[in-house]
Amino acid sequence: MIRRFYVHNFRCLENFELPVSGKSSVLLIGKNGSGKTTVSFALEILQRIARGTNRVDNLVKPKDFSRGRKDVPMRFEIEVELSSQIYEYVIAFEFPEGFKELRVREEKLAVGGKPVYSREAAQVHLAKTSKGKEAEFRVDWHLVALPIVQEQSQTDPLFIFKQWLARMLILRPIPALITGDSEQETLEPNSQVTDFGAWFAGIVGYAPAAYAKIDEYLKQVMPDMKDIKNPVTGKDSRSLVVQFSSGQGSLLVSLKDLSDGEKCFMICALVLAANDAYAPLLCFWDEPDNYLALSEVGHFVISLRKAFESGGQFISTSHNQEAIRRFSDENTLVLYRNNHLEPTIIRPLSELQVGGDLVDALVRGDLEP
């Protein structure tokens, strides 16, 4: 679970801290352009580092500096609690005059307050462990060290943190692009979830019992669903098919032919199963209610919130009144910007004075931190 997430000089986020410590689920609300999706982009940079992207130019660009302030480092800090241990990771990028791309200025990882490694510019220092000595090596300034530093085993804190960070779910699905085809398995879907088939195969392969969780949820939202099949369609390929059944007979439908809303139900089922199979999991889902009918939104949001009460963390954005009403004031964060030249401000809804109904205040545009 995230205890602290701090971002500075990245797009509209300046001296920005996301107050989600101790909250199993959080809703971000605010006008378009207030910075809600930018928070997910900041998290995605750390996710991509853990998944192996270490060239700085493939992570951030000069245009990502807030208001073109290239003289101030771009900074990301995350503090996470995993198995009663506190993990702290910091990385800062700079763009010296005359350079064509950003480079690493500072980087460090600490567990329980003790450094695993630290870095200044090109010099990486590995702290002494029970199995080894202190060590130092140099790395290209334009490469991030986290994917390069080797872990000793699956119990190594470095491995635990990198795996948690890599398995974060940062979701901005485009249902029309989801086909259900796959040629491999993964536990690390892309943000658009176009690799849904590989993710389904990965979860079921990793934890076969997860299929029961998927089946249970989908039968609640689509009562006529009977089964999901993933038959072989080629030498190394599969394609998901959903079987529906009623008193009138049975029907097989390719996953790519489901409606956009039904594909969102499928994604939700995998989120629930993933958090059950390899919790604790962080899921940031940007506007998950986009493709749902009003009557479906409430159950959808409550299912996700309840699933993360026993572990992990769920963060969502929304403009939907039914979704907003499913979160308490303590779990709702309001993001605000006066204009595009000002940074994002964030405040818990519980600290704001709202005149009358929250949704009515949002419609009137009266809600400001």
Q: What is the pLDDT of residues 6-27, one digit of tens each?
A: 999 999 999 999 999 999 999 9
What is 114-157 written as a DSSP string? EEEEEEETTEEEEPPBTTB--EEEE--TTB-STTTSPPSSTTSH
Pair of tokens at residue 273: 């199963």
Q: Which residue carries 């004075």 as its tokens?
A: 353
Residue 200: helix, strand or coil by DSSP? helix
Please state the rounded mean pLDDT for residues 229-234. 94
Banded model confidence at residue 199, pLDDT cuts 50, 70, 90: very high
| Spatial separation of the C-alpha atoms in residues 285 and 300, rounded to whole Å | 12
Question: The pTM is what?
Answer: 0.94
Rounded mean pLDDT, 55-69: 96
In whole angstroms, give the CA distance from residue 335 to residue 314. Answer: 17
Cα–Cα dist 282/164, whole Å: 8
Bridge partners (DSSP) listed for residue 243: 227, 252
pLDDT digits (tens, 9 = 90+) for 156-166: 999 999 999 99
Q: What is the pLDDT of residue 243?
A: 97
Distance CA 94, CA 280 (A): 33
Q: Average pLDDT, stretch 104-110?
A: 97
Closest to 187 in 3D by CA, of 94, 50, 75: 50
Single-letter amino acid code for the residue at 205:
G
Burial class (CB in 10 A: 0-12, 13-18, 19+), 337: middle
Residue 364's pLDDT is 57
Name the pLDDT band for 151 (thresholds 50, 70, 90): confident
Task: State the CB neighbour count (10 A cutoff) for residue 139.
Answer: 18
pLDDT at 247: 87
Whether the predicted pLDDT of 354 surpasses 80: no
Asked if residue 104 lies in contact with residue 121, where contact means CB atoms within 8 angstroms, the answer is yes
Three-class SS state of 238:
strand
Cα(316)–Cα(26) distance, integer angstroms: 6
- What confidence score (pLDDT) does residue 134 get? 85
pLDDT of residue 352: 77
Give residue for tokens 């038959």.
231
- pLDDT surpassing 80 at residue 357: no
For residue 101, is pLDDT > 80?
A: yes
- Evaluate whether 49 touches 64 at the Cβ level (below 8 Å): no
Segment 192-196 shows an average pLDDT of 97
CA atoms of 335 and 363, how far apart (whole Å): 15
Residue pair 349/358 in contact by the 8 Å Cβ criterion? yes
**Segment 22-56, tens digit of pLDDT:** 999 999 999 999 999 999 999 999 999 999 999 99
How far is residue 119's CA from residue 125's CA, in Å, rounded to a whole number?
6
- Cβ pair 29, 318 in contact under 8 A: yes
